[in-house]
Structure 1
């Protein structure tokens, strides 16, 4: 039984850290993710028998109607091809609200839409010659149990594969809307596969006889959430699960590069090193680290190199300025020179390493502020 396990697509999300036109282009590209997932599921060579969406298909509970219509059209393609699809609401596209997309569209939603607020057996289907029993819930504010973590999970005493789908957190979680799930109780339930969503980083953990899997988000939402750029397919049989990660070449690369500027002789060489990382399709943050050869203007370097990337951020995280440069400025009969001399004396007198690090940072920032003014 081969399952395409999707979660946390967050269709409709726009990056707030980009300019308006660029952010809209990023949203447009990212919203093609569901169509690419359906194309994968319909590829005969992949032999997909079931598609599950474990929450947060949309970024909000009330997405724009054209986006909803496009998503429904993609899910209809699965339905028309005879591939069952199960959609579980998440915490971003929560079913709680009267104007939730799942409240408005519940009667005509393709495949199985989970709406029950408590863990339950939601369907038994036949797929790829297997009987598959499905269990799930849709978190509903004020109704679904969240404290303590859910510990009651049903399971039919019938032959077949038993697959649970939840958008939640293993353990006590970080709040009601994280839907805490007791991992020991999930293990005792005896599911063969537990398809999870909510955590954007991929992971897997054995719970009892089954495997619980977070596939991770394919297209991330920022530098702290870069995305996996791959789809997850689970091959499930009694007593065993095999995972396959399929790259999504259309997913945009989100990357953070640390550039040690210590060996570079000047700002021009630093700019050239940033330019050498060029990728017109990538969303990139470059962190300048080490000892700066001279006073660096991160904004100027970013502006000079931005055309080489889809989006570029340059962040100055250098830990100090060149000692030779500081020596030259300290010799000046200026306010800047006096500032450097005083700070250096304080650093020499300070015994605490943490406090010296604070003084070093204060010296660097103070010099940058005065030189830029």
Structure 2
């Protein structure tokens, strides 16, 4: 039995990346998300799998846009017309999704739920329980059917497992409990980082997000091709068109040439994808805005790379040597100054499109203040203020 396993497509997700502030980068990322389902189908057809498994959060919300839903169904029917069925469950993002909202999905597309938790396909039986509410705080495992004797048993589950860092504890359960349930393969979803464990011929796989949407979903998104035999064979197949990266750059000299070289050396190799980089810079005397301009200049010949953002590491910020700069930094640390800054950010957010308003979140205040203080401090140190 050979399956393609994916989850967390988040179709229809708004762009919350810093890249959304750049029209060209935002359009490139939006296109990568729009074409994601088609790329999954292409891989499934090329690999000649026996079934495609989607373990929750196929959509980013409960009510998919009619055009988006129609596009997904058209892609999935490419599979079913080729004799490849699709098995799905709901996740926390699309917990209340009505797959029949705009008409039945069609023969060969199975949405498992508490009323119909299992479906037989060839030598395998697929078992799955989707979310019936946005917040499921207890394990769903006790409600899963027992394995069918003499068949390959595959379980679909949307879960935070033992409580992954940075993820809400939805439907938590232990890997050891999954391994002891009697299924041959657990097709999981929810955690956006890929992981795979195989023990005694049983595989527990979190495929990770197939297309990252912001820098916290870094790396090259993939799907998992699983061939289930006595020993499961697992292969991660990249499908992302855009990949996010974090890169650290240490500047030991202040001359422009060495700075340009340092940024260029940190760039990933060409691989046919577009890469968006967030730089963390240590050393050097230039303010953040100037360093960002230099990073973009260093990569100007790399049409496959964009600078998503640039941040100085806290320990590397130049110490204020001017009395005015020190006073400004002290004032910026007061409660009244911060309250006023938060008020201004709130006003700006209300005037911005929702897809880029998050770039001015309350959590961004410290970085914005530091960038401003760096710029003023650099000007004072080098006598360029005015």
> What TM-score does the superposition give when structure 2 sets the normalisation length?
0.73
1:226 aligned to which of 214, 218, 229: 218
Aligned mates of 1:190, 1:168 — CA distance in 2:
18
Give a deviation string over 1:219-265, Cα, whole Å, max 9, x none: 1122221143333110112x4211022233x6222211111002x23
Query: Compared with structure 1, are the counterparts of its residues 151 and 28 closer, same or farther at alpha carbon in structure 2 (3 Å cutoff)?
Result: same
Q: Is the 8 A contact 1:202 1:214 kept in 2?
A: yes
* Match in the other structure for 1:123: 119
Query: Compared with structure 1, are the counterparts of its residues 12 and 82 closer, same or farther at alpha carbon in structure 2 (3 Å cutoff)?
Result: same
Deviation at 1:158, TM superposition (A): 3.0
1:255 aligned to which of 238, 245, 248: 245
Deviation at 1:181, TM superposition (A): 3.1
* Match in the other structure for 2:156: 165
Deviation at 1:207, TM superposition (A): 6.4
Aligned mates of 2:117, 2:286 — CA distance in 1:
65
Give the gaps of 5 or more residues in structure 2.
328-368, 380-384
* Match in the other structure for 1:312: 308
How many pairs are equivalent? 328
* Match in the other structure for 1:42: 45
Q: Is the 8 A contact 2:147 2:183 kept in 1?
A: no
Aligned mates of 1:363, 1:286 — CA distance in 2:
16
Query: Compared with structure 1, are the counterparts of its residues 165 and 240 closer, same or farther at alpha carbon in structure 2 (3 Å cutoff)?
Result: same
Deviation at 1:73, TM superposition (A): 0.3
For the aligned residues, what is the CA RMSD?
3.5
Larger proportion of strand: 1
Q: Is the 8 A contact 1:186 1:207 kept in 2?
A: no
* Match in the other structure for 2:227: 235
Deviation at 1:145, TM superposition (A): 6.4
Aligned mates of 1:207, 1:103 — CA distance in 2:
38
Deviation at 1:172, TM superposition (A): 6.1
Query: Compared with structure 1, are the counterparts of its residues 76 and 315 closer, same or farther at alpha carbon in structure 2 (3 Å cutoff)?
Result: same
Give a deviation string over 1:267-290, Cα, whole Å, max 9, x none: 55324532553879211111111x
Deviation at 1:122, TM superposition (A): 1.6
Aligned mates of 2:245, 2:98 — CA distance in 1:
33
Q: Is the 8 A contact 1:286 1:313 kept in 2?
A: yes
Give the gaps of 5 or more residues in structure 1.
340-361
- Rg larger for: 1
Aligned mates of 2:141, 2:155 — CA distance in 1:
14
* Match in the other structure for 2:31: 28
Alignment of 1:228-307 (within 5 A): 228-237=220-229, 239-248=230-239, 251-262=241-252, 264-267=253-256, 269-275=258-264, 277=267, 281-289=274-282, 291-293=283-285, 297-301=290-294, 304=297
* Match in the other structure for 1:74: 75
* Match in the other structure for 1:111: 108
Alignment of 1:326-337 (within 5 A): 335-336=323-324
Query: Compared with structure 1, are the counterparts of its residues 172 and 299 closer, same or farther at alpha carbon in structure 2 (3 Å cutoff)?
Result: closer
Deviation at 1:132, TM superposition (A): 1.0
Give a deviation string over 1:295-326, Cα, whole Å, max 9, x none: 5633443565575533432212263467xxx7
* Match in the other structure for 2:363: none
1:191 aligned to which of 176, 183, 187: 183
1:154 aligned to which of 138, 141, 145: 145
> What TM-score does the superposition give when structure 1 sets the normalisation length?
0.75
Deviation at 1:19, TM superposition (A): 2.0
* Match in the other structure for 2:60: 59
Aligned mates of 2:4, 2:326 — CA distance in 1:
65
Query: Compared with structure 1, are the counterparts of its residues 145 and 367 closer, same or farther at alpha carbon in structure 2 (3 Å cutoff)?
Result: closer
Query: Compared with structure 1, are the counterparts of its residues 365 and 191 closer, same or farther at alpha carbon in structure 2 (3 Å cutoff)?
Result: same
